[in-house]
Amino acid sequence: MRAPSVTQGAGAPSFVLAAHAVDLGFPGKPLLQGWSQHLPAGLVLVLGDEGAGKTSVLRLLAGEIVPAAGRLQLNGLAHGSPGYRQQVFWRDPRDAWPRDMTPVTWSMALAAQYPRWSAPAWQRHVQGFALQPHLDKAMFQLSTGSQRKVLLAAALASGAPLTLIDEPVAALDRASIGYLRAALQDCATAEAGHAVVVGHYDDLDGLPWLCTVALDTH
Does residue 182 surpass a pLDDT of 50? yes
Give the residue-averaged pLDDT of 34-43. Answer: 94
Check if the beta carbon of residue 93 is closer than 8 Å to that of residue 148.
Answer: yes
pLDDT tens for 41-67 read 999 999 999 999 999 999 999 999 999
Query: Average per-residue pLDDT in the chain?
Result: 92
pTM of the model: 0.92
Residues of the chain above pLDDT 90, percent: 86
- Rounded CA separation 110/126 (Å): 15
DSSP category for residue 87: T
Could you tell me the CATH number of the domain that includes residue 75?
A: 3.40.50.300
pLDDT tens for 121-178 read 999 999 999 999 999 999 999 999 999 999 999 999 999 999 999 999 999 999 999 9
- Rounded CA separation 43/93 (Å): 20
**Residue 141 lies in domain:** 5-214
Residues of the chain above pLDDT 70, percent: 92
Number of domains in the chain: 1
pLDDT tens for 85-103 read 999 999 999 999 999 999 9
For residue 39, the model assigns a pLDDT of 93
